[in-house]
Amino acid sequence: MDAVPYVQRDDGVFVGALMPPSPLKPAGSFVVSVEGEILTIPYRIYGPELGAVDLAVLSETQRTLMHCLYTRHHDGRVRQRHLSSIIGEVHPWVAPFVVQLVGEYVLNILMDIRSGLVEVDTPGTQMHAMYGRFGAANPEFIARTRQRVASYWHCYYRNVWTDRKFYPGTTVIDSVRAAARHFQPVGRVAGPTRAAGGHPADGGVTHFPMEASRT
């Protein structure tokens, strides 16, 4: 399973084997660097969630991996529910799953992330170090996410937040960018990430194709 680091690969395979079969293959992917290791994470998954019986057999690390994977679910309610279980985690491999959600459109999820990542703004905290190192290693991914934030703000929320800098998605991604300036890049990904639709960021507001469903 390329979505998890090598040292967690056995746990990832175990979780993947437990996840119920999906009627559809994962849609798209994005590539990030986590502590020098390249991970390829699905953009969307479509299978049902694990039942209580299967959850009971998972270790703490396996549960965290499972929650991370379900933040890529096509149903926004499922994404939000599993986000709530990882937002306080400081495992470096959690960061890409959270930051990817910042570049999406569900306002409740953005508000949860903003509330959960307040320590990213405070140097010396684990959150600041974790997200700062991730941002430093993935400048193209961060830039692309910031462009997606701008695009969704322009499409859905500019009448609520007339100044984009106060939109929750903007405040979060700018906090990650600010934290990244404190760290040297490790294992930087050289090219743009691969997600469903859109183009590499090049400044201004790039209007990415919006997803068909707002679930």
- Provide the residue-wise pLDDT of the chain in tens; the chain has 215 residues: 588 787 788 888 889 888 988 888 889 999 999 999 999 999 999 999 988 778 889 999 999 999 999 999 999 999 999 999 999 999 999 999 999 999 999 999 999 999 999 999 999 999 999 999 999 999 999 999 999 999 999 999 999 999 999 999 999 999 999 999 999 876 655 444 444 444 333 334 433 334 434 44
**Cα Rg of the chain (Å, integer):** 16
Q: Residue 215's pLDDT is what? A: 46
Q: Residue 200's pLDDT is what? A: 35
Q: Is residue 198 part of a domain?
A: no
| CA–CA distances in Å: residue 6 to residues 10, 13, 19, 59 | 8, 11, 20, 17
Question: In total, how many domains does the chain have?
Answer: 1
Q: Is residue 71 part of a domain?
A: yes
Domain enclosing residue 108, as ranges? 6-180
Q: Is residue 201 part of a domain?
A: no
CA distance 118 to 175: 9
Q: Is residue 190 part of a domain?
A: no
CA distance 75 to 60: 24
Task: Dig out the tokens for 73 from the structure.
Answer: 């679910």
Q: Is residue 213 part of a domain?
A: no
| CA–CA distances in Å: residue 31 to residues 46, 50, 59, 212 | 19, 25, 26, 23
Q: Is residue 33 part of a domain?
A: yes
Q: Is residue 141 part of a domain?
A: yes
Q: Is residue 194 part of a domain?
A: no
